[in-house]
């Protein structure tokens, strides 16, 4: 049942990412997609098989910190004849893989989603598709923050929920501040996963001063 739910999520995300891949394929002969926190690489393999393998071009790079998962993914790619997939062992924050057109991160936990955003900026990705998972950093910080809004996070369960919501709002504003147009939508139904918020961003300019000001204002107001 867990595998079926995961497959449903990955297939749905693949459809949501398709327009970005189509555009990247129009713009470049060999666009590069980086799948960060790749895990068992379900998403990477499906994206490659559906879109890159069929047109005979495009590269996919999976970044994963666990060596055993990297080794398994490399073996599957070799056995499948997927010769334009490679896997890099290491943390997202440390990965340097050259120019990237599309960045994906499915259920990268806590600050790994933030590392994926910084990775996209470092590698000047045009498209970013993120489905955040658990995110506890701001919730931990809010525990000691006092101010006019502190009733919003007085109870632990509400602090976790508010912290997660605030985290994703700040992520969207941060991407907008760096010139991305951001769309936040439901990723899939709650029956498949409760972590169902998707942040999709497409870069249109180098920066957005108004979004930067809103980001700094909100962070200051809540003490984050």
Q: DSSP code of 39?
A: T
Instruction: Give the mean pLDDT per block of 10 residues along the chain (224 residues).
Output: 75 91 97 96 94 96 96 97 96 93 90 94 97 85 85 90 92 98 80 72 96 94 77
Q: What is the pTM of this model?
A: 0.90
Residues 62, 74: contact at Cβ < 8 Å? no
In angstroms, the CA 170 to CA 167 distance is 5
CA distances from 3 to 6, 42, 111, 192, 218 (A): 5, 10, 25, 11, 39
Task: State the pLDDT at residue 188.
Answer: 61
DSSP at 115: H
* pLDDT score of 137: 84
Task: Give Cβ neighbours of residue 121 (< 8 Å, ≥ 6 apart).
Answer: 178
Question: Whole-angstrom Cα distance, residue 34 to residue 62?
Answer: 6
For residue 1, the model assigns a pLDDT of 64
pLDDT at 184: 94
């Amino acid at each position: 049942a867990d595998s079926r739910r995961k497959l449903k999520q990955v297939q749905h995300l693949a459809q949501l990412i398709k327009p970005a891949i189509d555009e990247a394929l129009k713009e470049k002969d060999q666009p590069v997609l980086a799948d960060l926190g790749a895990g068992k690489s379900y998403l990477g393999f499906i994206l490659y098989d559906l879109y890159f393998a069929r047109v005979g071009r495009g590269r996919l790079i999976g970044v994963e910190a666990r060596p055993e998962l990297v080794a398994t993914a490399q073996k599957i790619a070799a056995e499948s004849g997927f010769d334009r997939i490679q896997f890099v062992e290491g943390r997202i924050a440390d990965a340097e893989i050259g120019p990237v057109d599309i960045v994906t991160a499915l259920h990268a936990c806590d600050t790994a989603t933030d590392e994926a955003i910084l990775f996209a900026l470092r590698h000047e990705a045009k498209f970013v598709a993120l489905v955040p998972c658990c995110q506890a950093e701001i919730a931990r910080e809010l525990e000691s923050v006092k101010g006019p809004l502190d009733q919003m996070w007085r109870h632990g369960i509400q602090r976790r929920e508010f912290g997660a919501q605030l985290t994703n709002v700040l992520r969207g504003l941060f991407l907008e501040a760096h010139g991305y147009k951001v769309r936040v939508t439901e990723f899939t139904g709650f029956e498949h996963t409760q972590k169902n918020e998707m942040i999709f961003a497409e870069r249109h300019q180098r920066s957005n001063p108004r979004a930067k000001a809103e980001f700094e204002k909100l962070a200051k107001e809540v003490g984050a």
